[in-house]
Amino acid sequence: MLDFDTCYAAIERRDASQNGQWFFGVLTTGVYCRPSCPARLPLKKNVRFYQTPQQAEADGLRACLRCRPLATVGADPNMQRVTRLCEFIEAHAQQTLSLAALASEAGLSPFHLQRSFKAITGVSPKQFQQSVRMKRLKASLREGEEATNAIFDAGYGSLSRVYEQADTRLGMTPIAYRNGGANMTITHVTVESPVGPMMIGATDRGLCFIQFADDVKDLTGMLQKEYPNAELIAMEKPYPPSFDSWMEALNNHLCGHQPHLDLPLDIRATAFQLKVWHYLQMIPCGQVQSYSEVAAGIGQPTAARAVARACASNKIALAIPCHRVIRGTGELGGYRWGIERKRVIIDRERRFNKVK
């Protein structure tokens, strides 16, 4: 038997350690969830607790699309369908894949495919296909392939289409990417933060670099290594209003005054990294998940090591909160900017939640 008060206290804490042990249903919304579901806390009178998903479904409830409780017991049919569909898209990324054709392949209606696919991967089927194509384009460019050939080989039907997407997915034009950021301008500034010197770098599309170090010189070297051929310009005061607001948001976040960050980002990433990073942004402030939980959350339960590599590849600290991922043992695990910084950032977020 499940003790109501004990279980309700666990969902108040969003206790991830209880995931898979039991489930709670919300009668007013008609869904059942895992204990760590980030949705708004339901009223006690509207909650029921279940030992298995089958018991919840027998009461007429359906699985929550936000926390995907069936993933904790490896029985989510939509997750299995979406995982297979991701493999199908990767194998046919060069083709034109309509939503109707993908829905037929997955055995779902177009509406339910769109909804389930985005709930599980964080992106739409079209965006996922674009990510696969962009990943192949980047690989070809890194190998020195001519830009035009690389674009068509990756599956783009025209040069204009890839240059449109370069703004948000590649972070620069294909030729500039191949040349290590050549003809690209990044403005940057270093400020003191509660966890030491922090450098912020941005293109005209958004933030592309947020990192910490003990020495400002180290930060400059890190930026140069990431964009070896870009034009790096140190910003002088007064800062542009947009840049000033970004810095203010980051410092407010570190000081516990702003739990959620919604900043424009200029990201270069693989499809898998985008999937992981988007999921990390959905982990509530002050909470943590293990690498295995994140892997299950993105529909690839055996990819815990790949999740760890994606976290280690993150170059936009805080805005992509890789600090919220820890080892399954409860240990903090790695953090490219130092374990102590990770500990301080997590503790600050938790204190904010307590004060709130």
Cα 226 from Cα 77, distance rounded (Å): 40
Pairing status of strand 23-26 against strand 206-212: unpaired
Cα 165 from Cα 154, distance rounded (Å): 13
CA dist list (Å): 340 to 196, 333, 336 = 11, 11, 11
37 is catalytic: no
188 bridge partner residues: 201, 234
Identify the active-site residue in 7, 33, 37, 311: 33
Cα 65 from Cα 45, distance rounded (Å): 22
Cα 37 from Cα 16, distance rounded (Å): 9
208 is catalytic: no
Prior bond of 238 cis (ω within 30°):
yes
CA dist list (Å): 163 to 31, 126, 334 = 42, 17, 36
Residue whose C-alpha is closest to residue 324's, from 14, 30, 12: 14
185 bridge partner residues: 231
Cα 306 from Cα 88, distance rounded (Å): 20
Tokens of residue 241, six digits:
């209003």
201 bridge partner residues: 188, 209
Residue by residue, DSSP assigns 92-110 as TTTS---HHHHHHHHTS-H
Identify the active-site residue in 37, 208, 311, 322: 322
Tokens of residue 104, six digits:
């037929």
Longest pairwise C-alpha distance within the chain: 65
Catalytic residues: 33, 322
